[in-house]
Amino acid sequence: MDPIISLAALRSDPPRAAEALTMEQLRIVYQPIVHLEDRRIFAQEALTRCTVPEFANPEVLFSHASEERCCGRLGRMIRDLAFGPCEGMPLFVNVHPDELSARWLVRPDDPIGFHDADVYIEITESAAFTHYDLCRSVLQEISSRAGVYLAVDDFGAGHSNLMRVLDLEPKVVKLDRAMVSGLDTNPRKQILVKHVVRLCVELGAMVVAEGIETADELSAVLDTGAHLGQGYLFSKPKFPAPAAEWPGGNTMPPETGRRRIVSRPRI
Protein backbone atom coordinates (compact mmCIF):
# COMPACT_ATOMS: atom_id res chain seq x y z
CA MET A 1 0.00 0.00 0.00
CA ASP A 2 1.30 3.43 -0.96
CA PRO A 3 2.23 5.25 2.30
CA ILE A 4 1.12 8.54 0.76
CA ILE A 5 -2.68 8.86 0.83
CA SER A 6 -3.99 11.01 -1.99
CA LEU A 7 -6.02 14.14 -1.33
CA ALA A 8 -8.93 12.57 -3.20
CA ALA A 9 -8.87 9.57 -0.88
CA LEU A 10 -8.84 11.81 2.16
CA ARG A 11 -11.80 13.79 0.86
CA SER A 12 -13.75 10.64 0.12
CA ASP A 13 -13.70 9.68 3.80
CA PRO A 14 -12.49 12.71 5.79
CA PRO A 15 -13.77 11.64 9.23
CA ARG A 16 -11.64 8.49 9.17
CA ALA A 17 -8.49 9.92 7.60
CA ALA A 18 -6.41 10.06 10.78
CA GLU A 19 -7.78 6.80 12.14
CA ALA A 20 -6.62 5.00 8.99
CA LEU A 21 -2.98 6.00 9.42
CA THR A 22 -0.44 3.23 9.90
CA MET A 23 2.97 3.21 11.54
CA GLU A 24 4.53 3.18 8.06
CA GLN A 25 3.07 6.65 7.48
CA LEU A 26 4.58 8.08 10.67
CA ARG A 27 8.18 8.88 11.48
CA ILE A 28 10.02 10.35 14.43
CA VAL A 29 12.72 13.00 14.48
CA TYR A 30 14.65 14.09 17.56
CA GLN A 31 15.86 17.44 18.87
CA PRO A 32 18.41 17.71 21.68
CA ILE A 33 17.78 19.54 24.95
CA VAL A 34 21.07 20.93 26.22
CA HIS A 35 22.44 21.61 29.69
CA LEU A 36 23.35 25.29 29.58
CA GLU A 37 25.93 25.00 32.35
CA ASP A 38 28.10 22.14 31.10
CA ARG A 39 26.94 22.12 27.45
CA ARG A 40 26.09 18.41 27.53
CA ILE A 41 22.92 16.90 26.11
CA PHE A 42 20.32 16.40 28.82
CA ALA A 43 17.72 14.56 26.70
CA GLN A 44 16.20 14.27 23.26
CA GLU A 45 12.65 15.29 22.40
CA ALA A 46 10.74 12.95 20.07
CA LEU A 47 8.76 14.89 17.46
CA THR A 48 6.16 13.40 15.14
CA ARG A 49 6.14 13.71 11.37
CA CYS A 50 3.65 12.23 8.90
CA THR A 51 4.13 11.32 5.25
CA VAL A 52 0.53 12.29 4.44
CA PRO A 53 0.86 15.85 3.10
CA GLU A 54 -2.36 17.05 4.72
CA PHE A 55 -1.01 15.96 8.11
CA ALA A 56 2.49 17.38 7.72
CA ASN A 57 1.70 19.77 10.57
CA PRO A 58 1.51 17.70 13.79
CA GLU A 59 -1.09 20.07 15.25
CA VAL A 60 -3.38 19.38 12.29
CA LEU A 61 -2.76 15.65 12.65
CA PHE A 62 -3.72 15.58 16.32
CA SER A 63 -6.66 17.91 15.76
CA HIS A 64 -8.11 15.40 13.29
CA ALA A 65 -7.26 12.51 15.60
CA SER A 66 -9.06 14.25 18.45
CA GLU A 67 -12.17 14.75 16.31
CA GLU A 68 -12.06 11.09 15.32
CA ARG A 69 -11.41 9.91 18.90
CA CYS A 70 -8.24 8.07 17.95
CA CYS A 71 -5.60 10.08 19.84
CA GLY A 72 -4.91 7.14 22.12
CA ARG A 73 -4.12 4.79 19.24
CA LEU A 74 -2.07 7.45 17.42
CA GLY A 75 -0.04 8.29 20.53
CA ARG A 76 0.70 4.63 21.14
CA MET A 77 1.98 4.16 17.58
CA ILE A 78 4.21 7.20 18.01
CA ARG A 79 5.67 5.84 21.25
CA ASP A 80 6.25 2.46 19.64
CA LEU A 81 8.37 4.25 17.03
CA ALA A 82 10.08 6.76 19.33
CA PHE A 83 11.74 4.68 22.04
CA GLY A 84 13.59 2.03 20.07
CA PRO A 85 16.21 4.29 18.40
CA CYS A 86 17.00 6.06 21.70
CA GLU A 87 18.12 3.24 23.95
CA GLY A 88 19.83 4.64 27.01
CA MET A 89 18.86 8.26 26.24
CA PRO A 90 16.49 10.34 28.39
CA LEU A 91 13.49 11.13 26.19
CA PHE A 92 10.71 13.73 26.09
CA VAL A 93 7.46 12.52 24.48
CA ASN A 94 4.46 14.74 23.79
CA VAL A 95 1.03 13.62 24.96
CA HIS A 96 -2.30 14.99 23.75
CA PRO A 97 -4.82 15.58 26.58
CA ASP A 98 -7.26 13.15 24.94
CA GLU A 99 -4.72 10.40 25.58
CA LEU A 100 -5.12 10.94 29.31
CA SER A 101 -8.85 10.20 29.27
CA ALA A 102 -8.37 7.25 26.90
CA ARG A 103 -5.92 5.78 29.45
CA TRP A 104 -3.60 4.32 26.84
CA LEU A 105 -0.66 5.66 28.82
CA VAL A 106 -1.34 3.49 31.84
CA ARG A 107 -1.54 0.21 29.97
CA PRO A 108 1.06 -2.22 31.34
CA ASP A 109 2.58 -2.85 27.90
CA ASP A 110 3.12 0.83 26.98
CA PRO A 111 6.72 1.55 25.87
CA ILE A 112 6.96 4.26 28.54
CA GLY A 113 7.33 1.55 31.15
CA PHE A 114 10.26 -0.18 29.45
CA HIS A 115 12.59 2.59 28.35
CA ASP A 116 15.98 2.22 30.01
CA ALA A 117 16.48 5.93 30.77
CA ASP A 118 14.33 8.73 32.17
CA VAL A 119 11.10 9.59 30.35
CA TYR A 120 9.43 13.01 30.45
CA ILE A 121 5.73 13.07 29.58
CA GLU A 122 5.21 16.47 27.97
CA ILE A 123 1.84 18.24 28.04
CA THR A 124 1.01 21.85 27.26
CA GLU A 125 0.36 24.43 29.95
CA SER A 126 -3.24 24.83 28.71
CA ALA A 127 -3.85 21.08 28.93
CA ALA A 128 -2.35 20.98 32.42
CA PHE A 129 -4.84 23.68 33.44
CA THR A 130 -8.01 22.50 31.66
CA HIS A 131 -7.41 18.81 32.44
CA TYR A 132 -5.91 19.35 35.89
CA ASP A 133 -7.64 16.50 37.77
CA LEU A 134 -7.13 14.06 34.92
CA CYS A 135 -3.47 15.02 34.63
CA ARG A 136 -2.97 14.52 38.34
CA SER A 137 -4.61 11.08 38.48
CA VAL A 138 -3.07 9.64 35.32
CA LEU A 139 0.35 11.13 35.84
CA GLN A 140 0.46 9.97 39.45
CA GLU A 141 -0.24 6.45 38.22
CA ILE A 142 2.48 6.65 35.57
CA SER A 143 5.06 8.34 37.73
CA SER A 144 4.79 5.57 40.29
CA ARG A 145 7.18 3.84 37.90
CA ALA A 146 10.75 4.95 38.48
CA GLY A 147 12.15 7.44 36.01
CA VAL A 148 8.90 8.82 34.55
CA TYR A 149 8.28 12.54 35.04
CA LEU A 150 5.97 15.36 33.99
CA ALA A 151 7.15 18.22 31.75
CA VAL A 152 4.89 21.22 31.11
CA ASP A 153 5.31 22.76 27.66
CA ASP A 154 4.45 26.27 26.39
CA PHE A 155 4.67 27.66 29.92
CA GLY A 156 3.67 31.31 29.98
CA ALA A 157 1.85 31.13 26.63
CA GLY A 158 -1.64 31.60 28.02
CA HIS A 159 -3.43 33.31 30.86
CA SER A 160 -4.03 30.30 33.05
CA ASN A 161 -3.32 30.15 36.77
CA LEU A 162 0.40 29.36 36.74
CA MET A 163 0.36 28.21 40.35
CA ARG A 164 -2.36 25.66 39.58
CA VAL A 165 -0.22 24.25 36.79
CA LEU A 166 2.84 24.16 39.05
CA ASP A 167 0.78 22.35 41.69
CA LEU A 168 1.11 19.31 39.42
CA GLU A 169 4.76 19.36 40.53
CA PRO A 170 6.34 19.04 37.08
CA LYS A 171 9.94 17.97 36.98
CA VAL A 172 10.55 20.25 33.99
CA VAL A 173 8.92 23.45 32.74
CA LYS A 174 9.50 24.52 29.14
CA LEU A 175 9.17 28.26 28.53
CA ASP A 176 7.01 29.17 25.56
CA ARG A 177 8.96 30.22 22.48
CA ALA A 178 7.36 33.66 22.55
CA MET A 179 9.14 34.31 25.85
CA VAL A 180 12.52 33.45 24.30
CA SER A 181 12.21 35.02 20.85
CA GLY A 182 13.92 38.40 20.85
CA LEU A 183 14.76 38.11 24.53
CA ASP A 184 18.12 39.79 23.96
CA THR A 185 16.48 43.01 22.71
CA ASN A 186 13.60 43.30 25.17
CA PRO A 187 14.57 44.37 28.72
CA ARG A 188 10.99 44.08 30.03
CA LYS A 189 10.76 40.51 28.75
CA GLN A 190 14.10 39.73 30.39
CA ILE A 191 12.71 40.83 33.77
CA LEU A 192 9.59 38.72 33.27
CA VAL A 193 11.50 35.60 32.25
CA LYS A 194 13.90 35.92 35.19
CA HIS A 195 10.96 36.03 37.60
CA VAL A 196 9.27 33.04 35.94
CA VAL A 197 12.49 31.02 36.07
CA ARG A 198 12.99 31.92 39.74
CA LEU A 199 9.41 30.85 40.55
CA CYS A 200 9.86 27.49 38.82
CA VAL A 201 13.19 26.86 40.52
CA GLU A 202 11.81 27.69 43.97
CA LEU A 203 9.00 25.18 43.34
CA GLY A 204 11.45 22.46 42.35
CA ALA A 205 11.25 22.46 38.54
CA MET A 206 14.05 22.61 36.00
CA VAL A 207 13.50 25.18 33.23
CA VAL A 208 13.98 24.69 29.48
CA ALA A 209 14.16 27.75 27.22
CA GLU A 210 12.69 26.64 23.89
CA GLY A 211 13.16 28.19 20.49
CA ILE A 212 16.72 29.52 20.89
CA GLU A 213 17.83 30.50 17.40
CA THR A 214 20.68 33.00 17.81
CA ALA A 215 23.78 33.35 19.95
CA ASP A 216 22.39 36.62 21.33
CA GLU A 217 19.19 34.87 22.47
CA LEU A 218 21.33 32.18 24.09
CA SER A 219 23.33 34.83 25.97
CA ALA A 220 20.10 36.41 27.23
CA VAL A 221 18.74 33.01 28.26
CA LEU A 222 21.90 32.28 30.24
CA ASP A 223 21.31 35.49 32.18
CA THR A 224 17.83 34.31 33.25
CA GLY A 225 19.14 31.28 35.14
CA ALA A 226 17.35 28.72 32.96
CA HIS A 227 18.92 25.27 33.28
CA LEU A 228 18.35 23.88 29.79
CA GLY A 229 18.06 25.11 26.19
CA GLN A 230 16.50 23.82 22.99
CA GLY A 231 16.28 25.26 19.50
CA TYR A 232 17.68 25.50 16.00
CA LEU A 233 20.86 27.13 17.32
CA PHE A 234 21.85 23.73 18.74
CA SER A 235 20.21 21.47 16.16
CA LYS A 236 17.19 21.14 13.92
CA PRO A 237 15.05 18.02 14.51
CA LYS A 238 16.69 15.06 12.80
CA PHE A 239 16.84 11.28 12.62
CA PRO A 240 18.72 9.60 14.17
CA ALA A 241 19.06 11.56 17.38
CA PRO A 242 21.57 14.30 16.55
CA ALA A 243 24.51 15.82 18.32
CA ALA A 244 24.18 19.47 19.30
CA GLU A 245 26.32 22.37 18.13
CA TRP A 246 27.35 25.06 20.59
CA PRO A 247 28.19 28.51 19.17
CA GLY A 248 31.90 28.55 18.56
CA GLY A 249 32.06 25.10 17.00
CA ASN A 250 31.98 22.75 19.99
CA THR A 251 29.94 19.60 19.32
CA MET A 252 27.97 17.88 22.06
CA PRO A 253 27.30 14.22 21.21
CA PRO A 254 24.17 12.41 22.38
CA GLU A 255 24.89 10.89 25.77
CA THR A 256 23.26 8.09 27.67
CA GLY A 257 21.37 9.00 30.81
CA ARG A 258 20.67 7.34 34.12
CA ARG A 259 19.71 3.74 33.45
CA ARG A 260 16.41 2.41 34.71
CA ILE A 261 15.86 -1.16 35.76
CA VAL A 262 12.81 -2.33 33.83
CA SER A 263 11.11 -5.65 33.37
CA ARG A 264 8.54 -6.65 30.79
CA PRO A 265 5.43 -8.56 31.86
CA ARG A 266 5.58 -12.26 31.17
CA ILE A 267 3.40 -13.41 28.29
Whether 252 maps to a domain, the answer reads no
Whether 262 maps to a domain, the answer reads no
Whether 247 maps to a domain, the answer reads no
Whether 243 maps to a domain, the answer reads no
Whether 137 maps to a domain, the answer reads yes
More confident residue, 180 or 133: 180
In sequence order, the β-bridge partners of residue 207 are: 173
Which structural domain, as residue segments, surrounds residue 161?
A: 14-236
What integer is the mean pLDDT of 37-52? 94
Average pLDDT over the chain reads 83
Q: Provide the pLDDT for residue 159.
A: 54
Residue 129 binned pLDDT confidence (cut-offs 50, 70, 90):
confident
Q: Provide the pLDDT for residue 90.
A: 95
Whether 4 maps to a domain, the answer reads no
What integer is the mean pLDDT of 3-9? 44
Percent of the chain scored above 70 by pLDDT?
A: 83
More confident residue, 89 or 4: 89
Residue 3 binned pLDDT confidence (cut-offs 50, 70, 90):
very low
- Is residue 2 predicted with pLDDT exceeding 60? no
Whether 1 maps to a domain, the answer reads no
Q: Provide the pLDDT for residue 134.
A: 78
> Which residues neighbour 225 within 8 Å (Cβ) at sequence distance 6 or greater?
194, 197, 198, 201, 207
Instruction: Give strand ranges (E) for the chain.
Output: 26-35, 41-50, 91-94, 119-124, 148-155, 172-175, 206-209, 228-229, 244-246, 250-252
- Is residue 207 predicted with pLDDT exceeding 90? yes
What integer is the mean pLDDT of 117-127? 87
Residue 48 binned pLDDT confidence (cut-offs 50, 70, 90):
very high
Inter-axis angle of helices 187-202 and 215-224, nearest 10: 50
Q: Provide the pLDDT for residue 46.
A: 97
Cα 229 to the center of its chain, rounded Å: 13
Each residue's pLDDT tens digit, 173-182: 999 899 999 9
Half-sphere exposure of 174 (CA within 13 A, CB side): 26
In whole angstroms, what is the distance from residue 98 CA to residue 257 CA?
A: 30
Whether 253 maps to a domain, the answer reads no
Count of domains for the chain: 1
Residues 153, 123, 219: CA angle, nearest 5 degrees: 15
CATH of the domain at 187: 3.20.20.450
